[in-house]
Structure 1
Amino acid sequence: MPSQAVRRISIRWLPEPAYEDTDTTALNVGGYFIDLRSMTMLWYVDRAAATFRWTHIVDSLNLTVPDDAHFEKLPNGDDLEIGTTPCPHKDGVLTDYEEVWRDITTRDADSRPSWILQSKDGSTFIGKVGLIYLAVQKASGVEFAARREGYESEYRIWKCAFESGNQAKVLEASTVVKLADGEAQKSVEGDVVSVDGVDFVFRGVSMDASRFRIESKPCFSFEQVRHSPKREDFIILNKMISQRLSHSY
């Protein structure tokens, strides 16, 4: 399943008009989502959540009722999400809503795998799609921390775009991305990786980025392996990709 990074363009709580007062980014890998919404012009989290399908696993607003929603494609290519969910400013009353989302998935010349990890204790989600990294952590019923970073290809660094809460409990991209990218090459959903002394479970893994790179920039050795039906050759292919990734970031 292809990975995706999206930005929310607007939200509408019916019958009210549509508006947008947040800077909202969401990552989707294998049906798992990380959704971070920060208030525009203000330095705090409006909402942050990690979900599977429509079920909230970690949510800063403590919402546990699954969203009931579906998507429709708009003429300009954006996606319209139509559904029902508890409305925060209506005391949690189930309300029909519409959200417009825009695909912002961007990969540089060295496209890498996408993934979403969950800590074994269930409190933390971290994920990367293309050049965007998100992390959300809920230590208790009231303590919540979140972070968003973007990769600047020109300078080859991850730069913080937003942070809130106790950052000592939130992993930075520079700590986790290189390791997770390498492990993702040989991992499937459910596999465990240790990051900075904490065990994380791969909840979503997508190799669409790696396939994009191989097909758009073929070289003799990669093509020779890619078209071979032998299992041993696919193992060699994974090793070759891992070696290239080890020289990145």
Structure 2
Amino acid sequence: MSRELSEAEKAFAAEVKGNVEGLGRDPVMKDLTAQWFRRSTDHRYSYNFRWMGRPLIQYPQDMVALQEVVWETQPDIILETGIAHGGSLIYSASLLRLLGGDHRKVIGIDIEIRPHNRKAIEEHPMAPMIEMIEGSALDQAVVDQAKALIPEGARVMVLLDSNHTHDHVLGELRLYAPLVTPGCYCVVYDTVVEDLPAEFSGDRPWGPGDNPKTAVHAFLKEADGFEIDHALEDKIQITVAPDGWLRRVR
């Protein structure tokens, strides 16, 4: 939401900018943050939070960053891959509700929407703002269905958080990142898998060398118009999406 800042607000913004730049230059802070993050995974930290009654399965710092981005970029549509318990859909819907307007919607895609989760989402107060599509995010029919829900001229943000293999995420980026409006973001979650020990992934098909971060860097080599928002990462420090906050610049 654009308005002219007062001199006091400009001074405070400059102070914050200096704080964030200092964080980005502090290797001790980065090392401590990495140690804390690795330790937090032993306790399944991200599973322990809810938003308006539904499990969120995210780190709070990422959610704070997301609301800043949503407020600043004013999207009409937030498209998400990966639904799980629906907390992220409801979080996004609540942010859009605060922006105002009946035209704003969240589109959620998942290869399997479990009946109890679908029921809980459909009975939630945010349900009128949410559209769910069941199917693979890489299925062209699913892509077409999602595109049909996006009004012409809408401002679009994309959040990718489904299958975390390199090939799947790269496929999602190729299909959904082009929908992002210049100035808005495509957020790729769980890029942190690249930075964690191999045993963290267990028997999952992703791990170091094959994960969302490797997909992001492959995508950036072939795609024009996106850049990593490192300043945002420096600010929040704790994130499951290092190198995954992608801003479309053109």
Normalising by the residue count of structure 1, what TM-score does the alignment of the two structures yield? Answer: 0.28
Normalising by the residue count of structure 2, what TM-score does the alignment of the two structures yield? Answer: 0.28
Which structure dedicates a bigger proportion of its chain to strand? 1
Which protein has the larger Cα radius of gyration, Structure 1 or Structure 2? 1
